[in-house]
Structures are given as structure tokens and as C-alpha cells.
């Protein structure tokens, strides 16, 4: 009678020491970006929901008003980039923990990378190219203040 | 002498009670009811006293009911670290856990520690655990000729790593770590505790070699500060704190 093969352990795959400090920087980034994100997100929530008329003030004009200010453009851009990198790095750690097959890992990492890149590119595009009153647009689709701006 | 029907226990007698043990079993050779390597639950009832530990109950089962029950134990007094097991979903030493502290009204659930391959019943293959420990080089490393006399150390210098010298290598911390369960590469808390003991030892000179190993992808950065290890340690070592101290050294470059 032979004993059955033991299921675990998986073979210990050493990462090699090619990118020696990579995990340390990843860890540091998570701490710093986390602290900055807490500040940014609570400022965002406070300004949008508590100051002024609260939640009812949020409409197209409110967003347009905020993004007319370079400070809010930068704040929102920073929040977008940090949130995506922070979340993306967290997901990378989870994939490292749970995906053991090489193909699964490659596919998941690819999907994650593409998702992060697409959201950052589209988001930045909106923040930096936002124009509430495009020149050739149908006037019925534009907010009311555009008439005064154009005049 | 006539026996009297007395309901209450006489003074000085330790109260006894019946307790059910629900044990996770596995026999690699199979039994008449269970196949080779099949994992299953089996319940045993034993009459125990308030002074009995889980290990005593396991002995009662093995000696009087089912001799095939397999578990490790050596000193039976919380020193050798052989009988770490998962009791009521927490890693503990069977020899340091009193039955009366576990709510004996309900079945007491006993499983092998998680994350290591089960060999039989409550016995697991500790080799991956020891392999991690070996990798951090748990021995004194020095440069230059050996001194004529002892390598001296002040009480303060000794205090620096006193906590991590208490480790008995029972694997309760490493096998309570959720990253260790899923990851398959992480050194685990115990190896980092073992490294901590030498990194912060003023007599040792191999700190940076060990730190280099722990700076690896499978090293300290895998720790998510879940604190399971600190909770599991039967010696009360502040494991998560030790891991954080190693992280701090790697971040600041100062020991």
C-alpha cells in the first residue's frame, strides 16, 4: 500500500532579487498615498456635501464651477491617479496571493493594468479638457450660464 | 462505610463533566469506512475534570477509545511546541488549553494547523515551516577571530530582542496567518521572529544579510498586519510588532 501524494505545499517560488527594493517601495507608496487620499477624499466630501446647499447643489454647473479653478483640477487629478494606483497596487497584491498559475496571473495582471490605465487616461482627459460651453454645440444642450459667458 | 447519594461534589473534589471532541481526521492508508487520504470528522465523548487540558482529553481518546488517533506531543507542558493545533478555530497548544475554558457544553472542534500538508489526523508536515526558518540563517554570524572570552552584552542590549527569544517554533503563528494560507511563498511570521532575534542582537554581525533576505518579495512586505500571529502565539510574543520593527529597519536603514 502506498500513501497518497500530499496536496500542499506548493513549491516555494523565490522571486529572485532582480528588483530588490520593489516591494519596499510598494509598501511605502501604500502608506503615503493612503494618507494623502484620506485628506483629499474628506475634503472632496466636505466641499461637495456639507458646505453650501449640500447634496442638492451638485449639478453640471457645480462641477463646471469647480473645474474652472486650477486648484480643483489638480486636486481631482491627484485623487484620481492616487486612488487608481493605490487600488491597483492593492489588487496586484491580492493577485500575487491568490493566483498561482502563471497564465492566470498574467491574464489578471494584464486586465488590472489595462483597467487602471484606461480609467486614469479617460479621467485625466475629462479633467483637463473640460469645457462647459463648447463653441459649436447646440445651445439647447448647454447649461443656462453659457449664454452669459458667450455674451 | 455506606455510600450516600449526594448530588453536590464533596469539598476538595474537582468537578467532572462530559465533553465531546470533534476531531478532523485523515488516514493516508484509509480505514474500513474511509478512503485513502479522505478527510472526515469524528466525535468522541470523554469524561473530563476541570483541571484537564485538551491534551488530556486527546490522551483519553487515544488510550481508551481509538488508538489510531495520531497527534504530536512531547513535553506536554507548553515548552516543546509539538502540539500546536486548531482548537475551536484558533491556533493553540493542546497542553496549555483547559477544557473548562472552551465551553465544554458544546463539542470542542480540533483540527490540524492550517496551511501545511496533513500527514495523518492532527500531524502536519512541518518541513516548509522549518525551510523558511533555515533560510533566514538562525545562527550567530560574526566577522574576525573569535574572542578569548564570552561576547559580552549589556542588559539593555539583551532587552532589545528578549521577546523574540521566547519562540518555541510550534508554528501556531505561521499557520494562523491568512497570507501564509493562500500565498505559498511567504516566509511566515515565525521565520521573521527568528530573524528578529538575531538582527537586534548586538553580538551578531549578519543583520544585513538577513534583512536582505526579508526584503524579498516573499519577505516582510507580505505582512498585512492582520495580528492573527500575535493572537495565536502561546508564548505571548508580540509577533506583529517584531515584524513591524524589521520593516522599520528596512525603511530607515538603521538598526
Write the pLDDT tens digit of every residue in B97-120: 999 999 999 999 999 999 999 999
- Residue A108: which H helix or E strand, with range? helix A102-129
**CB-CB under 8 Å, A10 with B217:** no
**For residues B64-72, average pLDDT:** 96
The stretch B84-106 carries a mean pLDDT of: 95
All 3 cell numbers of residue B219? 519577505
Give all strands (DSSP E) within chain B, no chain letters. 16-26, 39-49, 84-87, 90-93, 108-111, 118-120, 123-124
pLDDT band at A53 (very low <50, low <70, confident <90, very high): confident
Q: Give the Cα separation of B160 and B180 in Å (integer).
A: 27
Mean predicted confidence (pLDDT) in B69-83: 95
* pLDDT confidence of residue B4: 52
Cα B52 from Cα B57, distance rounded (Å): 7
Of A9, A17, A22, the CB nearest to B128: A9
Contact A43, A75 (CB under 8 A): yes
Residue among B4, B159, B173, B13 nearest B93 (CA): B173
- Of B55, B63, B57, the C-alpha closest to B96 is B55
Mean pLDDT taken over chain A = 85
- Quick: pLDDT tens for A59-113: 888 888 899 999 999 999 999 999 999 999 999 999 998 998 899 999 999 999 9
pLDDT of residue A55: 87
Question: Mutate which of A2, A5, A12 to disrupt the B interface (most B C-beta within 10 Å)?
Answer: A12
Alpha-carbon distance of A84 to A87, in angstroms, equals: 5
A22-133 carries CATH number 1.20.1300.10:
yes
Q: pLDDT class for A150, splitting at 50, 70, 90?
A: low
pLDDT band, residue B183 (cuts 50/70/90): confident
- Residues of chain B contacting residue A11, judged by C-beta atoms under 8 Å apart: 184
Res A60: pLDDT: 86
- Domains of chain B, by residue range, sit at 16-124, 127-140+156-252
CB B166 within 8 A of CB B236: yes
Count residue pairs from A and B with Cβ separation < 8 A: 66
Beta strands at B108-111 and B118-120: parallel, antiparallel or unpaired: unpaired
For residue B91, list its beta bridge partners: B86
Q: Which residues of A touch B128 (CB under 8 A)?
A: 9, 12
d(CA B51, CA B67): 23
Position A15 pLDDT exceeds 70: no
ipTM of the complex: 0.80
Q: Which residues of B touch A10 (CB under 8 A)?
A: 184
* Strand pairing category for B39-49 and B90-93: unpaired
- List, in order, residues 6 or more apart from B169 with CB less than 8 Å away: B81, B129, B130, B133, B190, B194
Q: What is the reported pLDDT for A133?
A: 81
Q: Which of residues 16-55 of A touch B (CB under 8 A)?
A: 17, 20-24, 26-28
Q: What is the average pLDDT score of chain B?
A: 93
* pLDDT at site A149: 60
Confidence of residue A17 (pLDDT cuts 50, 70, 90): very low
Q: Are the C-beta atoms of residues B221 and A24 closer than 8 Å to each other?
A: yes
Cβ contact (<8 Å) for A20 and B215?
yes
Does 1.10.1060.10 match the CATH number of domain B127-140+156-252? yes
How far does A98 lie from chain B, in Å, by closest CA?
6
Closest approach of A103 to chain B, Cα-based (Å): 16
A7 CB neighbours in chain B (<8 A) are: 117
CATH of domain B16-124: 3.10.20.30
A contact residues 77-136, partner B, Cβ 8 Å cutoff: 96-98, 100
Distances (CA, A) of B60 to A26, B71, B107: 52, 13, 16
* Domains B16-124 and B127-140+156-252 are alike in CATH topology: no
Alpha-carbon A39 to chain mean position = 15
Q: Which of B28, B185, B221 minimises the CB distance to A4?
A: B28
Full-prediction pTM beyond 0.90? no
C-alpha cell read off for B244: 513591524
Q: Is the dihedral of CA A108, A109, A114, A120 positive or negative?
A: positive
Distance CA B251, CA B255 (A): 10
Q: In this structure, are residues B246 and B222 in contact, taking their beta carbons and an 8 Å threshold?
A: no
Amino acid at each position: 500500500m502506498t500513501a497518497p501524494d500530499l496536496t500542499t505545499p506548493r513549491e516555494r517560488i523565490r522571486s529572485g532579487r532582480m528588483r530588490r527594493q520593489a516591494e519596499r517601495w510598494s509598501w511605502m507608496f501604500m502608506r503615503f498615498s493612503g494618507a494623502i487620499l484620506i485628506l483629499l477624499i474628506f475634503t472632496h466630501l466636505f466641499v461637495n456635501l456639507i458646505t453650501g446647499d449640500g447634496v442638492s447643489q451638485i449639478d453640471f454647473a457645480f462641477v463646471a464651477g469647480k473645474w474652472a479653478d486650477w486648484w480643483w483640477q489638480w486636486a481631482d487629478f491627484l485623487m484620481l491617479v492616487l486612488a487608481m494606483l493605490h487600488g491597483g497596487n492593492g489588487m496586484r497584491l491580492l493577485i500575487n496571493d491568490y493566483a498561482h498559475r502563471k497564465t492566470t496571473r498574467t491574464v489578471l495582471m494584464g486586465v488590472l493594468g489595462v483597467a487602471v490605465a484606461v480609467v486614469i487616461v479617460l479621467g485625466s482627459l475629462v479633467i483637463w479638457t473640460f469645457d462647459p460651453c463648447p463653441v459649436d454645440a447646440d445651445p439647447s444642450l448647454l447649461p443656462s450660464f453659457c449664454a452669459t459667458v458667450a455674451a | 462505610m455506606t455510600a450516600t447519594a449526594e448530588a453536590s461534589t464533596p469539598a476538595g473534589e474537582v468537578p467532572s463533566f462530559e465533553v465531546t471532541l470533534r476531531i478532523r481526521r485523515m488516514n493516508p492508508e484509509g480505514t474500513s469506512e474511509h478512503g485513502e487520504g479522505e478527510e472526515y470528522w469524528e466525535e468522541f465523548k470523554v469524561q473530563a475534570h476541570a483541571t484537564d487540558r485538551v491534551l488530556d482529553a486527546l490522551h483519553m481518546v487515544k488510550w481508551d477509545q481509538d488508538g489510531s488517533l495520531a497527534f504530536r506531543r512531547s513535553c506536554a507542558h507548553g515548552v516543546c511546541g509539538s502540539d500546536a493545533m486548531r482548537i475551536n478555530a484558533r491556533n493553540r497548544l493542546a497542553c496549555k488549553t483547559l477544557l473548562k475554558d472552551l465551553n465544554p457544553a458544546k463539542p470542542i472542534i480540533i483540527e490540524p494547523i492550517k496551511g501545511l500538508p496533513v500527514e495523518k489526523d492532527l500531524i502536519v508536515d512541518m518541513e516548509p515551516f522549518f525551510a523558511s526558518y533555515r533560510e533566514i540563517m538562525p545562527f550567530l554570524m560574526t566577522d574576525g577571530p573569535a574572542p578569548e572570552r564570552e561576547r559580552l552584552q549589556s542588559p539593555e542590549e539583551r532587552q532589545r530582542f528578549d521577546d523574540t527569544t521566547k519562540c518555541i517554533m510550534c508554528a501556531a503563528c505561521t499557520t494562523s496567518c491568512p497570507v501564509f494560507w493562500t500565498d505559498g511563498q511567504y516566509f511566515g511570521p515565525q521565520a521573521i521572529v527568528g530573524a528578529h532575534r538575531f538582527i537586534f542582537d548586538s553580538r551578531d554581525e549578519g543583520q544585513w544579510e538577513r534583512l536582505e533576505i526579508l526584503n524579498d518579495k516573499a519577505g516582510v512586505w507580505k505582512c498585512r498586519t492582520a495580528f492573527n500571529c500575535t493572537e495565536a502565539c502561546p508564548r505571548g510574543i508580540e509577533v506583529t510588532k517584531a515584524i513591524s520593527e524589521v520593516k522599520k529597519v528596512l525603511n530607515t536603514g538603521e538598526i
